[in-house]
Copies of this chain bind each other. A is one copy, B any other.
Amino acid sequence: MDPVLLLTILFYTGLIVEAMTGAITAGEQQMDLFGVLVVATVTAFGGGVIRDILLGRSPMLFIAKPELLFLTSAAALIMVIIARYFNKLRWVFLALDALGLITFSIVGAIRAQEMGFGIGVASISGITTGVFGGILRDMLCNRIPLAFRKELYASVSIISVWLYLLLDKFGEPMALSVPLTLVLGFCLRMLAVKYDWRIPQFVYIAKPR
C-alpha cells in the first residue's frame, strides 16, 4: 500500500478519534455542547497548531482547510450520542487512538524534515504533534495531562518518532518505515495498556517551610 495514502487515511482517523477523546473529556466536566466542540477541535488540531507555531509553518491545517471542522465536529457529536456504549467500545477506541498517536507523531517528524530541519527538531516536532493535542485538551478541562501519567502514551510517541527517523536515516523507503513504525508502535502501546506498563513517576512531597 502506498505509504502516503496509508498515512493520510490514518491521519484523518486520528483527527476523528482525537476529537472524540476531546468530547468525552468535556463530558466528564459537564460542559455544554459548545464546550464539547471547542475541546474536540483543540484536541484534534492542537498538536499540529503548536508544532506549526514552533516551526514557523503556515498556513495551519484547519485554516487552509476549515471544512475539516465539520469532520471533527461530527465526530464529537457522534461521541455525545454513543457515549453510553463507550465502555463496551473501549478496546476499539484504544486501538484507533494508538494508531492516531503514532500517525500524528510520524507526520510531525515528516513536516519538520520537509522544512529542512535535522533529527533534533524532527523529534520535537513529532512528539509535539503526537501528544500536545491531548495536553491542551486536559489544560482546557482543568486536569493534569494524561500524557504525563498514562501507560507509555508519550513514550510510544517518542519511540515511534525515533524508529521512523532511524529507518529513514538508513535509507529505508517510506513504504517500509511507515508500516513498520505503525505496527511496532501499535503493539507497544497495546501491550502497555493491557499490562499497565508505565515509566517511573517522580514523586516529590513539598515540605512546609
A140 in complex: contacting residue of B27, B31, B145, B149, CB < 8 Å: B145
> Given that A140-B135, A142-B142 are contacting pairs, would A201 and B32 also be in contact in the complex, using a CB cutoff of 8 Å?
yes
Residues of B within 8 A of A117 (CB): 63
* 9-residue interface stretch from A48-56, A103-111, A182-190: A48-56
- A80 partner residues in chain B, CB cutoff 8 A: 202
What's the number of copies of this chain in the assembled complex? 3
Q: Is A16 an interface residue (CB 8 A)?
A: no
Of the candidates B29, B66, B198, B204, which one forms a contact with A27 in the assembled complex, judged by CB atoms under 8 Å apart?
A: B204
The residue of chain B having its C-beta at the shortest distance from the C-beta of A128 within the complex is B38
Closest to A29 in B: B144
A204-B28 in contact (CB<8A)? yes
Interface size on A, residues (CB 8 A): 62
Q: Shortest Cβ distance from A30 into chain B, in angstroms?
A: 5
Which B residues are in CB contact (< 8 Å) with A27? 202-204
Tell me if A165 is interfacial: C-beta within 8 Å of chain B. no
With a cutoff of 8 Å between Cβ atoms, the chain B residues found around residue A207 in the complex are: 87
Query: Are A202 and B148 also in contact (CB < 8 A) when A55-B63, A56-B58, A124-B66 are?
Result: no
Asked if B33 and A63 sit within 8 Å, CB to CB, the answer is no
Residue of B nearest to A150 (CB): B32
- Nearest 3 interchain pairs by C-beta: A35-B148, A27-B204, A66-B120
6 A-B pairs whose Cβ atoms sit less than 8 Å apart in the complex: A26-B148, A26-B202, A29-B148, A30-B202, A32-B200, A38-B135
Contacts A34-B155, A35-B154 aside, 18 further interface pairs with beta carbons under 8 A come to A23-B202, A24-B204, A26-B202, A27-B203, A31-B148, A32-B202, A33-B200, A56-B59, A56-B63, A63-B117, A63-B121, A66-B123, A66-B124, A83-B204, A86-B204, A139-B140, A139-B142, A141-B144
